[in-house]
Chain A
Amino acid sequence: MRIYVTGYGVISSIGENVEESLLALRSEKTGIKQGQKTYTERFKVGEISWTNEELVQRFQLTQDASRTAILGMIAAKEAFRGHSLNPGIRTGLISGTSVGGMDVSEIAYKDFLNGESDDLSIYRNHPSGSTSEQIAKELGIDEYVNTISTACSSAANSIMLGARMLLSGQLDRVVVGGTDGLSQFTISGFRSLMIFDDEWCRPFDETRKGLNLGEGAGYIVLETEETIKKSGKEPIAILSGWSNASDAYHQTASSPEGFGATLSMKGALAVAGLNPGDIDYINAHGTATPNNDLSESHGIKTVFGSAVPPFSSTKAYTGHTLAASGGIEAVFGILALNRGILLPNLNFKQAIEETGLVPVKNYSEGNTIKHILSNSFGFGGNNSTIILSKV
């Protein structure tokens, strides 16, 4: 049975919707710049310029919530536009997030620490599960709601779980993806790990020093063949493969040889029934940390041998949007499939000496792209791969 994609929505520092994102991708324009908030001003980040209140107004949201939930509502609403709720189509929402409502709870908590009175009602936004419940409410979905929290692979894992639930007949349609708003907690956390690059990040470049953080959300709508007959929706892509595996090497670092990455890429190819040679483009995890890119490169070489297909990381456009990245990049992947786009790996100059791999350098459309593979790797050695195919 095929799993079809029938909707997509995205918001990040390069655009508030799919169309704007495509324009930015095409013009090779990064969304990363010097931060605007007190806790981001020292860093280059992929920040969305609007405040939470402005976003609620601009997108006519019915709920005031955390940034993570708000961004999620915006992208999920775009993905679900044109879909209608129907008791005959059991619809769920599975959303990934790493910090949930931290962007608002950390402000209340700071008041508490300073001995000022904190607004306790703020903390209702904190649980990651609550962000998904708020997003589901915005769409009117109440059949099934779940939140995956596996750090930076959360959205990819949500996509994977959604597909499996459709295949098993537990749901007919599911909105899947992920969201993460920037918070002081996250910025300080990655700073403590000392994996920021003060300059624009350079995925897969020999001189890469680290990542730039970003924020955003990306969702796709999955339906079964049977559901499409009822919903009448035109499929825009097929979700043909997925896999998750554990690197089991280190809590935050990837194994040098990319063992978990190899497992997840091979696993997804097996589910899709494809050979490595069938993949026309890889959207890499490519965070631009020395460790990830080297490990992922080795994994790619292990799976694809000497015939590595065109590959790139789009993190130099959006920054690393953590739990949202797999959702945002799934949307980019669908654009790539349908327009034959090879997405460029901005800021790349010099191949990593040890691997010699050269990513896609320039944007081009009209290429023959039937299958794309997208990687998302998270802390805890959580490695996930999805494969999207042309309808």
Chain B
Amino acid sequence: MYFIQHIESITHQDSFQKKNIWDELKPLTADTGLISPDYKNYIPVAALRRLSTILRMGITVSKACQEKVSHEFDSISVGTALGCLTDTEKFLVTINTVSGDILSPTAFIQSTHNTISGQISLDLKNHAYNMTHTQNALSFEVALKDGLLCIDEGKSSVLVGAADEAIPFLERLRGSLIETSHPFTSGATFMVLSGKKGESISHIQACEVFFSEGNTENRIEKFLSSNNCSLQELDLVLEAGSDFKSKTSAHYSFPDYSGYYQSASAFAVHMANDWFIENSDSEAILIINNMESNKLGLTLIRRNEVEA
């Protein structure tokens, strides 16, 4: 089992360092903005100026996670769908507008997808396994599966997370390349997973990914039955792109709360974990990530059993 020791999010919700994010959760409106914590508490001011939103979010939630667990991370696995868009665009503008031989390398250096995980290792002086996955709308799930594999291999304090940032340019692709009615948003959710229960309230039982079109319901039923569960037994479904509203007792479309970024299913894990705090009769939550129609990510999260 993969216990969620701690989880932190910076999103367009008031979700950072909250006991229970559901206390403040509300559906986002079109004029939504990122709710940033005071990054200075986590990042030196001199460094902060250079850092884009995605790096600020990623570093801050990771450090907040490290503060809450006693062990140094022995693996770090990060997912990002589009990576460091602000710096990518900034460098594209630079190379097309600045003449002469001297270009500032900062935006280029920080445009690489693994700047997030690299900065985390630098800031925490962490020498462990350090991986960056990017697979469009399943970027979080493939990073999570790597993290679960690390635990199977004997690692005991695994940092898994996902981050993406919105830039205005994305609006140009709405309706052609990106089909969504939700606002483009930024978000980062990182969690510490361990094979030991500790103080955790829930655990990730399983995560599965599909890369082809197929019957979603069949796949869900098969996934659930192989994990000793069924649609009827689920207490909550958090989904994107699919519609299982009529088939479950409680249901939320998680992009209504996260907005649209392709690794938002990481935030759904945060929603699931905190759901168990108030809903003492809930046992099992399924996250269905069908944000892209040719891909499906399924993550089953369960309340930890109370020991007699």
Contacts and interface: CB of A to CB of B under 8 A. Distances in A.
Interface of A: 98, 106, 109-110, 113, 120-121, 123-124, 127-130, 132-133, 136, 142-151, 157, 161, 164-165, 168, 170, 184-185, 188-189, 191-194, 244-252, 259-260, 263, 378-382
Interface of B: 76, 81-83, 91-97, 101, 103-105, 108-115, 117-119, 121-122, 124-136, 138-139, 142, 145-146, 149, 152-153, 172-173, 176-177, 209, 211-212
Q: Which of B91, B93, B114, B176 has the most CB of A within 10 A?
A: B114
Contacts, number: 162
Contacts of B114: 149-151, 378-380, 382
Contact of A251 (B96, B115, B138, B209): B115
State the 9 A-B residue pairs at the shortest beta-carbon distance, nearest first. Answer: A380-B118, A189-B108, A149-B113, A192-B103, A192-B105, A246-B121, A129-B136, A142-B212, A188-B95
Contact of A185 (B91, B113, B121, B142): B91
29 contacts: A109-B96, A120-B172, A121-B177, A127-B134, A129-B81, A130-B136, A133-B136, A146-B135, A147-B134, A148-B131, A148-B132, A149-B83, A151-B112, A170-B145, A189-B108, A192-B103, A193-B108, A193-B109, A244-B130, A246-B118, A246-B127, A246-B129, A248-B127, A251-B115, A379-B115, A380-B117, A380-B118, A381-B121, A381-B130
A113 B135 contact: no
B69 to A, nearest CB: 18
Contact of B112 (A142, A191, A380): A380
Contacts of A147: 133-135
Contacts of B115: 251, 379-380
Contacts of A142: 211-212
A247 B127 contact: yes
A193 B132 contact: no
B109 A252 contact: yes
Contacts of A106: 92
Q: Which of B95, B112, B122 has the most CB of A within 10 A?
A: B112
A8 B282 CA distance: 50
Contacts of A378: 114
A133 B142 CA distance: 14
A193 B102 CA distance: 9
